[in-house]
Chain A
């Protein structure tokens, strides 16, 4: 990611009121994670798997603070059980920011499943999402994801792809 895209993500998170980020690092967002760690206004929590991160974010919601779950889109699959239970069973929202592995332009065979499964899994969970491929859309997309999550008390997701992450 370019520094300007990293800055846009952090601007969006701050504008949405996020103060805690749970993440499991990946390669496409690799410049984002240390920037989040270094930001004095954001507490980062590194997790052992994305499902754990989703559950921690759910707990943060209950505290009145705002959290983000940041991960590669493969992490969505690891999060499905807690997302389904929290979102559909209790109305506890988690906002996700994902790198879109397996999109057009993917050059790794192992990432192909992530592209094939991401949108069907989001649709199966009825999670509203946007895919952004232009840097100037990032900040508003993140802000909007929180607006909807806190109106619906359900999960939302932003996937970043294209030149933003390559």
Chain B
């Protein structure tokens, strides 16, 4: 199963959602697979922070559906967030874990899931996230997207994907700061709120 094909399948289901996504080649793949979600998606560069940030966003915007596009390396870095989700039970957070069993962006050395012994969906269930599944085909994955985007409890799908990157992908040119401004302005416009407002006159 290719990650890009999964992204294409997920993208069809997204319109008003906000997306926090992980580092590496998946960033450019996502922006190519879901160009209509460009302003609504924020790439975060640090392992272990994608799902926590998505959860913080979900806590702050309880009426908005938030999607976390995390990775096996990122989730293994901070398994504690699964316990936090298990306890907090956010009703508006759908978590996808791209599990390619390797640290792809640095050339592909194995992550802990490569052994075949470590099962992130099972860890999530053990942490109190009852709706946690593993998908091995695009059809299975898309069915979980439909269910996860409609769930009123945290929903995790671990997508077992190949360690390859979609060829000829257009690279994004923005850095973390520009991405943040793009995302924040989109949240402000769609929520009718001010996050980064004007300076004071004094």
Could you tell me the distance between the alpha carbons of A48 and B55 in the complex, rounded to whole angstroms?
14
Residue B81 at the A interface, CB < 8 A? yes
Residue B176 at the A interface, CB < 8 A? yes
Known contacts A59-B56, A62-B53; is A52 also within 8 Å of B45 by CB?
no
Residue B106 at the A interface, CB < 8 A? no
Contact among B48, B59, B180 with A20 in the assembled complex (CB-CB below 8 Å): B59
**5 contacts across the A-B interface (CB closer than 8 A):** A55-B48, A56-B55, A58-B56, A63-B61, A90-B44
Which residues of chain B have C-beta atoms less than 8 A from A153's C-beta?
196
Which 4 A-B residue pairings sit nearest by Cβ, starting from the closest? A59-B56, A63-B60, A48-B80, A55-B52
A68–chain B nearest beta-carbon distance, Å: 12
Residue A123 at the B interface, CB < 8 A? no
Contact among B45, B54, B175 with A59 in the assembled complex (CB-CB below 8 Å): B54
Contacts across chains A and B counted by CB atoms under 8 Å: 121
Could you tell me the distance between the alpha carbons of A47 and B88 in the complex, rounded to whole angstroms?
10
Which residues of chain A have C-beta atoms less than 8 A from B60's C-beta?
20, 59-60, 62-65, 67
Interface residues, chain A, with chain B CB atoms under 8 Å away: 20, 22, 43, 45-49, 51-52, 55-65, 67, 81-82, 85-86, 89-92, 151, 153
Known contacts A63-B187, A90-B176; is A45 also within 8 Å of B59 by CB?
yes
Which residues of chain B (152-197) have a CB below 8 Å from chain A?
Answer: 175-177, 179-180, 183-184, 187-188, 191, 193-196
Smallest CB gap from A56: residue in B: B56
Contacts A48-B84, A151-B199 known; list 5 others, CB within 8 Å.
Answer: A56-B55, A59-B20, A60-B56, A67-B56, A86-B49
* A81–B184 CB distance below 8 A: no
Which residues of chain B have C-beta atoms less than 8 A from A81's C-beta?
46, 48
Which residues of chain A have C-beta atoms less than 8 A from B195's C-beta?
61-64
Could you tell me the distance between the alpha carbons of A47 and B194 in the complex, rounded to whole angstroms?
27
Which residues of chain A have C-beta atoms less than 8 A from B194's C-beta?
64
Which residues of chain B have C-beta atoms less than 8 A from A47's C-beta?
80, 84
Residue B137 at the A interface, CB < 8 A? no
* B57–A85 CB distance below 8 A: no
Binary per-residue interface labels of chain B (114-128) against chain A in the complex, 1 for a CB within 8 Å, 0 otherwise? 000000000000000
* A48–B81 CB distance below 8 A: yes
* A63–B78 CB distance below 8 A: no
Could you tell me the distance between the alpha carbons of A124 and B175 in the complex, rounded to whole angstroms?
23
Smallest CB gap from A81: residue in B: B46
B186–chain A nearest beta-carbon distance, Å: 10
Which of A49, A81, A82, A90 counts the most chain B CB atoms within 10 A? A90
Binary per-residue interface labels of chain B (1-22) against chain A in the complex, 1 for a CB within 8 Å, 0 otherwise? 0000000000000000000100
